[in-house]
Amino acid sequence: MRRLHAILSVLPVLLLALGLVTVAAAAPLDAFAPQSGITGSLDIAGGTAHIPVMKEAAKRIMTVNPALRISVAGGGSGVGVQQVGEGLVAIGNTGRPLTEAEVQKYGLVSFPFAIDGVAVVVSPANPVTGLTGKQVADIFAGTVTNWKDVGGKDAPITLYTREDGSGTREVFVEKALKKGPQAATANVVNSNGAMKTAIAQDPNSIGYVGIGHLGESIRGLHFDGMVPTQDNAASGAYSVTRKLYMNTKGAPQGLAKAFIDYIFSPEGKEITKASGYIPLDR
C-alpha cells in the first residue's frame, strides 16, 4: 500500500513533465497558430540550395495556419540579394556571404543557418570515382577534354556549370578551382535541380551541386582524396564548403521574423538536417 501511495504521489509530477515536453515540442509552430496574431504573407527567393528547407518549413507553418501564405522561389543568390534589397521579397536567400557593397547598398541583415558542401558530380555510369584538384581545374578550364586523360573511358567530357550570381558557383570557383578559369564552352544551368537532371542524363558529363542534392541519380566524386559528405563538411574533413544564409532588409518583422525564428528552432534544425545540411545555431 505504501508503495502504491508513492507511485500515485509521483504520477502527477510525471504527467506534468510529459505535458511540458509536449508543450515544448509544439512551441515552435504555436507561434503561427491563428490566435498568435501572426498574419499576412511572406515571399522568399534566391539560392536554390535553400528551397527544400524553406518549402518544408512553409508547408508545416501553413498547415498550422492556412490563413498564412508563404511562397518560395529560386533564382540564385544574386536574385536573392536583388529582390530582398528592392523590397520584392521579405527574405532573400544566398549560398554565400553578402558583400560589403550589398550590405551598404540595401541595408541587409544576414542569418547563416546551415553548412553545405559543394561536390563535383558525374553520372553513376561514369567509372571515375575521384579526381585531384588539378584535374578538376584542368577539366573546367577546358584543357582536359577527354575522360581517358583522367582515368576514365575514351569519351569527350561534357562540362556543366552554374550561372553568374550563383552562390554554389562562387564557392566552387573559389575553393575547388582556386579562382581558375572556366571554359566558355561549358553548358550553363540555373539551379542545383537543373544541374542534377543534366548530369543524370549524360554519362559523359561533369558538374557540381550542393552535397544535399546528391542521390541515386548522380554521384559525388572524391576530391583530392576527400569524400563529399555533410558529416565531413561539418568536421572540416571536406573543404569545399559554404554557409547558407537568409537575408532581410533591416531587422525582420512579423511573419518574416517568426519564420526565421522557426528555422533556428529545434524543429527547424531537424528540417535543415533532413534536407541534407548541417544546422547552425543562431
Binned average pLDDT, 10 residues per bin, the chain of 282 residues:
48 44 61 94 95 97 97 94 98 96 97 95 97 98 98 98 90 95 95 94 97 92 96 93 96 98 98 91 94
**pLDDT on residue 4:** 44
Neighbours of 268 (CB within 10 A): 22
Q: In terms of CATH architecture, what is 2-115+243-279?
A: 3-Layer(aba) Sandwich (3.40)
CA pair distance 74, 70, nearest whole angstrom: 14
CA pair distance 27, 246, nearest whole angstrom: 22
**pLDDT on residue 14:** 45
Q: Positive or negative CA dihedral for 262, 264, 267, 268?
A: positive
**Are the CB atoms for 203 and 125 separated by under 8 Å?**
yes
**pLDDT on residue 10:** 47
Q: Pinpoint the residues of the chain covered by CATH 3.40.190.10.
A: 2-115+243-279, 116-241
Instruction: State the amino acid at position 200 in one-letter form.
Output: A
Q: Domain 116-241 adopts which CATH fold? A: D-Maltodextrin-Binding Protein; domain 2 (3.40.190)
**Are the CB atoms for 95 and 186 separated by under 8 Å?**
no
Q: Please give the model's pTM, rounded to 2 decimal places.
A: 0.75
Q: Is 151 left (phi over 0), alpha (psi -120 to 50) or beta?
A: left
Q: Positive or negative CA dihedral for 176, 179, 181, 182?
A: positive
**pLDDT on residue 18:** 46
3-class state of residue 242 by DSSP: strand
3-class state of residue 72 by DSSP: strand
Q: Which residues make Cβ contacts (< 8 Å) with residue 55, sequence separation at least 6?
A: 72
